Structure 1
């Protein structure tokens, strides 16, 4: 694993959460580490930004209005172009049902909120291959 400060600025991270506070926190933490960050406040906005931004990894809140995280993840994973993009579910609920449902939707990992800087960095290092 690379030291935290040596993050590759070409790695693009998408953070999708209906909470402005959560989006800003994740964006600040990740930008400090040198990542390019794209944010969206719901599943519809995430899907529209996905094509233009082509993120290397997506952090996706489960509980959102209009299109929830499970539905958004399913749409991402059903698209041939984005099928291999890692999706990490974020939720304040950490029950086995929530985790199982996230897996069924296609997510690679489940992080319980409140998350830490280390939670985000570990997920990126685990799922994003820095040699493109």
Structure 2
């Protein structure tokens, strides 16, 4: 079954250009609109304008890390229900637990595969 992610707005927040580009390429192929941000501040400015359906956020970022960014998103009543997926190159229990505390919905270890990325989206966005 081909995924239909048309009209889905996905935000990818990562200070790595490679990760942003990889995710953007994969997501655009399945019809998503992709909004990228280089860090938490950049993301918070864009979220209000773009209202993404799902947000992927890297944990290790300068200025405002993924935990802080997730907490700020989840503390905003307009975006509380938006799924936030943490991205990390570390697959640690501590990171996962900390992610849950700040309200993240899932945790994806980098580098992620296309199947993992799309599978995660499928978990939160019912098939159209």
- TM range, smaller chain: over 0.9
Could you tell me which residue of structure 2 aligns to residue 26 of structure 1?
23
Could you tell me which residue of structure 1 aligns to residue 64 of structure 2?
67
1:130, distance to aligned residue in structure 2 (A): 5.1
List gaps (5 residues or longer) in structure 1: none
SS in 1 for 2:12: strand
Question: Are 2:86 and 2:99, in contact at CA under 8 Å, matched by a contact in 1?
Answer: yes
Cα RMSD after superposing both structures: 1.0
Could you tell me which residue of structure 2 aligns to residue 103 of structure 1?
100
List gaps (5 residues or longer) in structure 2: none
Could you tell me which residue of structure 2 aligns to residue 91 of structure 1?
88
Question: Are 1:11 and 1:130, in contact at CA under 8 Å, matched by a contact in 2?
Answer: no
SS in 1 for 2:11: strand
Deviations 1:55-103 (A, max 9, x none): 0000000000000000000000000000000000000011100000000
Number of residues paired by the alignment?
A: 128
Question: Are 1:86 and 1:128, in contact at CA under 8 Å, matched by a contact in 2?
Answer: no
